[in-house]
Structure 1
Amino acid sequence: MRTALPAILTALMLAACTSAAPPSVGYSRNLEPIPGSITYGGQPRTKLTKAPVGSIVPHRFRDKFGRQVSETYVIEPDRSLRLISRRIDYDLVTDR
């Protein structure tokens, strides 16, 4: 058993090193807009012409359950918005 343990640990470490990389650098998940998101139902009609490409746009709102939602968008070269992160603040007293 003493000789098998290092072999098992080595195999686990190698498996972790050879796993697939995330599809994009920085943020690995593709978030879908939810009701209240800026891009819910499509891109906004107005183009963000004055903001530089790559600018970060924060957005805060309450969802249908009353939870505070904080989203972050980035401005793409075609002036569309891409949702890159979302944080939902849960109320530990009312959320179960």
Structure 2
Amino acid sequence: MSPLATPDIEEVTNLAAAPLEPWEVVVWNDPVNLMSYVVRVFRTYFGYSLERATQLMRAVHHEGQAIVATGPRETMEVHAQAMHDYGLWATVRKAAR
């Protein structure tokens, strides 16, 4: 075989992409931020209606946490960082199935 010739190689490749796993941004209750401020952050950043933002804020306040967004991991990490920038406590976790 000449140095430039390539051997016949039979490759089996699976090009199917793995399904995107959903992730969640969880905002946690804290002793620092006012409820009105949390509502304003949810409305300003996520564009939620007053009613939805208030519902999420109440979940944070009464249950200690609320899932405020669901989607691809990278996007959820951006959202969690934005919540940190607003002074809220937030984490990213894999969504329960």
Establish whether TM, by shorter chain, passes 0.5.
no
Larger proportion of helix: 2
The normalised TM-score by structure 2 is 0.30
Taking CA–CA contacts closer than 8 Å with sequence separation of 6 or more, which of the two structures ends up with the larger relative contact order? 2
Larger proportion of strand: 1
